[in-house]
Amino acid sequence: MRKFTNDFMMGAATAAHQVEGNNVSSDFWTMEHIPGTMYKEPSLDAVDHYHKYKEDIQFLVDAGLNTYRFSIEWARIEPSKGNFDQNEIEHYRQVLEFCHQNNVTPIVTLHHFSSPKWLISEGGWESESTIEYFGNYCRYVVSKLGDLIPYICTINEANMGKQIAKIMKRMTSANSKNSSKKEESVDVQVGLNVDMKAKMEQYFSALGEAFGIDPRKVQPFLSPRTENGELIIMKCHEKARNVIKEVNPTIKVGITFSLYDHQALPGGESSVEKEQYEDFLNYLPFLQEDDFLGVQNYSRKIHGPDGVVQPDENTRVTKMGYEFYPEALGNVIRFVAKHWEKPIIVTENGISTDNDADRVEFIERALNGVYQCIEEGIHVIGYTYWSLLDNFEWQLGYAQTFGLIAVDRSTQTRYPKESLSYLGHIKKSGL
């Protein structure tokens, strides 16, 4: 019997815009509704987690889980620049209090992709002013709610802009005509639809009009970044960490990264090293004062002499098109641990599938890897499956099914899956 310790944090994760609904002051809401939108469908009510959070968290509790990672929505807290909404702070206070009442450890993310619309109009994630704006938002949240938050992830997948930039570069390269749909779907873990050439011009024109700025300067978080934009993201993280520690030094502060398990075929070693540096190692200087690191992994990439080798037609893939390879998580944890000696929390790991038996298998194999890492002495202190609920998968809409709980959006009725019970069983009884 392999059993995780009682204090090991195990649960599930969500992101505000993907589950709450009616995030009307956010950049995503704007982008979902413009002419020529790149979104399959708008988020609208989502799965109404904003009103049904108690029911959703109770499902997690009843399964025997003890941790819930969720995000506080900046666009709700500060719907217009400098104007903070006390009612929204009280909403998140109630969410946090409900967690504590049920012995659930909350892990709060302060920015999970979505931003206030006004921030993008002010220059977004390529503007130096965002550093100060983000710091002000963090100060407000922590001054109001910090006594209820033991762990904070400042920014979700801080390296995602770089990963998107790589895809865009590859698409516009001479070889892009040979790239397959499978390559595009495998490359981005958040469900971005990057097949946008035909609609690009119309879309960006509408974006510029919607945000009231030059469309070339519309910079939401999920967009290709310059090197200066990369630096701004990390300065935002440092600013947030400093503010949090100033207001409440007891809070553990970290950040999360999207990390693949990079594996080399003969001749692919240099390609692996390059990707590992770009995805993670070059960020390390900004993380030295952090308390933990959030690791997010869904699959692997195999590298040959010419770069990434795409899966063939016989490869088992998920509904998102990733290779079904739960062992990637343990491999990524081991890689990170070579460069990071502080605690690690698996803040996302999961699978989109319509066959819940596949999800159960994925969870079992992934957590076997986590357990082995702990046995090897790596300081892994938590695991939150992505996601608690089937939700709004950004540009792909509602077709993807990552959740431990299904939702009939016509009635907002919840249907817990066997995988939720299974994850709870692992927490209570072991693997």
Average of per-residue pLDDT across 170-195:
50
Cα dist from 359 to 69, 155, 192, whole Å: 19, 27, 22
Whether the per-residue pLDDT at 177 is higher than 50: the answer is: no
Site of tokens 């995000």: 71
Q: Which residue has the tokens 């995602």?
A: 160
Rounded Cα gap, residues 403 and 405, in angstroms: 5
Fold annotation for 9-429: TIM Barrel (3.20.20)
Higher pLDDT, 162 or 174: 162
- Name the pLDDT band for 168 (thresholds 50, 70, 90): confident
Beta partners for 303?
Answer: 264, 308
pLDDT tens per residue across span 355-371:
999 999 999 999 999 99
Q: Which of 20, 73, 157, 323 is catalytic?
A: 157
pLDDT for residue 184? 46
Alpha-carbon torsion angle 362, 353, 382, 282, nearest 10: 100
Percent of all residues in the chain with a pLDDT value above 90, rounded to a whole number: 87
- Mean pLDDT across the stretch 183-189? 48
pLDDT in tens, 216-254: 899 999 998 999 999 999 999 999 999 999 999 999 999
Q: Where are the beta strands (DSSP E) in 169-299?
A: 252-254, 256-258, 261-264, 293-296
Q: What's the whole-number average pLDDT of the chain?
A: 93
Residue 189: is its pLDDT beyond 80?
A: no
Q: What are phi and psi of 6, to 5 degrees?
A: -60, -30
Please give the torsion angle defined by the CA atoms of residues 135, 138, 143 and 149, in that order, rounded to the nearest 10 degrees. Answer: -140
pLDDT in the model for residue 170: 64
- Number of alpha carbons in the 13 Å side-chain half-sphere of residue 30: 24
157 annotated active-site:
yes
Q: What is the mean pLDDT of residues 59-65?
A: 98
